[in-house]
Amino acid sequence: MALVVRPSRIHAAGVFTTAPIRKGARVVEYSGPRLTAEEANRLYDGAPRTYLYGLEDGKTVIDGEGMGAYLNHSCDPNCEIDEIKNRVWIFALRDIAAGEELLWDYNLYDDEDPAPCYCGSPKCRGTMYSREWMAKMRRKARKKAEKIAAERQATRTQGEKAKTTKTLEKRAGTSIPKRSVA
Binding site for Zn ion (CB under 5 A): 75, 117, 119, 124
Nearer residue to Zn ion within complex by CB, 31 or 70 = 70
Q: Are 25 and 78 in contact (CB under 8 A)?
A: no
Residue 12 or 19: the one with the smaller Cβ distance to Zn ion is 12
Smallest separation (angstroms) from Zn ion to the CB of 14: 14
What's the min distance (Å) between Cβ of 90 and Zn ion?
18
Complex with Zn ion: residue 27 or 117, whichever CB lies closer? 117
Of the pair 40, 117, the CB lying nearest Zn ion is at 117
Minimum gap (Å) between residue 117 Cβ and Zn ion: 3
> Cβ 143 to Zn ion, closest distance in Å?
27
Residue closer to Zn ion (CB basis): 39 or 76: 76
* Residue 39 CB, nearest approach to Zn ion (Å): 30
